[in-house]
């Protein structure tokens, strides 16, 4: 039996280059779609506008996506991954309560303040698209469960004496974080102030019994490093 001829190096290189180009084109389409969905909403977005922003032909869009709805699901999935990654910390940060609370709060406020518009659109679209609804549920539920586990951990370590149920406190904390993110979007120069305040609300909610000097030190660094001091009404 004859063996099949091996592909030459030139063919292999050409294939790899084509894959890279295809990947870049698909990424450009997703990035463009995310911007247009944020600006125009799902209903106001057209495939033509997406392809114009991505600088590709309309036919190219259909190489990768069958419909606008499919594209929206891909954008939602991408953001879901970013949300879950933003709440994941390891090493020293994960072991130190003050650092973890501050880092988690900052990551949430940063991500959500940059994506408030598309997140609002995802919430609307979830009513009509079960796939989007499932992805949105993950974005809401999994971070909330992490907050809840963190609260339970601090109580079990003797660092918290909550006067409100931890389940409800976790729900309240999500509302606080969303408010901080919206405020940070509207006043980006006060970003660190809103992160600081949301972090303090978390510790107040759980009845933190430890030393908050570390939070004060982090706040002091922000005062020295940017315009936080000018924006903070306590100063």
Residues 87 and 115 reside in one and the same domain: yes
Note the pLDDT tens digit of each residue in 11-68: 444 444 344 446 899 999 999 999 999 999 999 999 999 999 999 999 999 999 999 9
Residues 58 and 97 reside in one and the same domain: no
Residues 217 and 101 reside in one and the same domain: yes
The pLDDT value given to residue 200: 95
Residue 174 contacts residue 72 (beta carbons within 8 Å):
no
Query: If phi over 0 gives left and psi between -120 and 50 gives alpha, with beta otherwise, what is residue 55?
Result: left
Mean pLDDT over residues 71-84, rounded?
A: 95
Categorize the per-residue pLDDT at 148 as very low, low, confident or very high, splitting at 50, 70 and 90.
very high
What's CA 161's distance to the chain center, in Å? 30
The pLDDT value given to residue 232: 41
Residues 208 and 100 reside in one and the same domain: yes
Residue 184 contacts residue 109 (beta carbons within 8 Å):
yes
193: closest CA among 232, 235, 220? Answer: 232
Residues 54 and 124 reside in one and the same domain: no
Find the domain containing 44 and state its range. 7-65
The pLDDT value given to residue 94: 77
Mean pLDDT over residues 98-125, rounded?
A: 94
Residues 175 and 222 reside in one and the same domain: yes
Q: Which two tokens stand for residue 38?
A: 């944020």
What's CA 184's distance to the chain center, in Å? 14
CATH number at residue 205: 1.10.357.10
Does residue 188 belong to any structural domain of this protein? yes
Considering only residues 87 and 107, tell me which one the structure prediction assigns the higher pLDDT: 107
Residues 20 and 84 reside in one and the same domain: no
216: closest CA among 98, 110, 126, 112? Answer: 98
| Angstrom distance (rounded) from CA 219 to CA 195 | 10
Does residue 128 belong to any structural domain of this protein? yes
Question: How many structural domains does the chain have?
Answer: 2
Q: Across all residues in the chain, what is the average pLDDT?
A: 85
Residues 166 and 183 reside in one and the same domain: yes
3-state secondary structure of 156: helix
| Angstrom distance (rounded) from CA 17 to CA 11 | 10
The pLDDT value given to residue 215: 74
Please state the pTM of the whole predicted model: 0.78
Does residue 1 belong to any structural domain of this protein? no
Give the ranges where 45-96 is alpha helix by DSSP (H): 47-54, 58-64, 68-86, 92-95
The pLDDT value given to residue 193: 95
Does residue 2 belong to any structural domain of this protein? no
Q: Determine how many CB atoms are found less than 10 A away from the CB of residue 61.
A: 23
Categorize the per-residue pLDDT at 225 as very low, low, confident or very high, splitting at 50, 70 and 90.
very low
28: closest CA among 69, 74, 89, 73? Answer: 74
Residues 48 and 157 reside in one and the same domain: no
Does residue 21 belong to any structural domain of this protein? yes
| Angstrom distance (rounded) from CA 71 to CA 42 | 10
User: What is the Rg, in whole angstroms, of the alpha carbon atoms belonging to the chain?
Assistant: 23
Residues 84 and 11 reside in one and the same domain: no
């Amino acid at each position: 039996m004859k063996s099949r001829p091996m592909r030459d190096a030139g063919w292999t290189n050409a294939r790899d280059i084509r894959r890279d180009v295809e990947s870049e084109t698909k990424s450009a389409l997703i990035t463009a779609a995310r911007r247009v969905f944020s600006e125009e909403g799902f209903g106001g977005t057209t495939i033509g506008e997406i392809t114009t922003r991505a600088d590709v032909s309309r036919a190219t869009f259909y190489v990768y996506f069958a419909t606008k709805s499919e594209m929206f699901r891909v954008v939602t999935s991408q953001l879901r991954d970013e949300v879950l990654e933003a709440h994941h910390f390891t090493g020293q940060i994960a072991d130190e309560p003050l650092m973890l609370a501050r880092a988690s709060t900052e990551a949430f406020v940063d991500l959500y303040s940059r994506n408030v518009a598309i997140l609002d659109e995802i919430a609307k679209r979830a009513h009509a698209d079960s796939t989007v609804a499932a992805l949105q549920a993950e974005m809401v539920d999994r971070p909330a469960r992490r907050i809840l586990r963190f609260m339970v951990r601090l109580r079990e370590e003797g660092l918290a004496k909550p006067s409100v149920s931890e389940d409800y406190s976790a729900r309240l904390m999500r509302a606080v974080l969303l408010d901080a993110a919206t405020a940070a979007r509207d006043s980006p120069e006060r970003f660190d102030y809103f992160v600081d305040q949301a972090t303090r609300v978390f510790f107040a909610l759980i009845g933190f019994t430890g030393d908050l000097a570390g939070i004060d030190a982090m706040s002091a660094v922000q005062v020295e490093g940017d315009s936080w001091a000018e924006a903070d009404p306590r100063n």
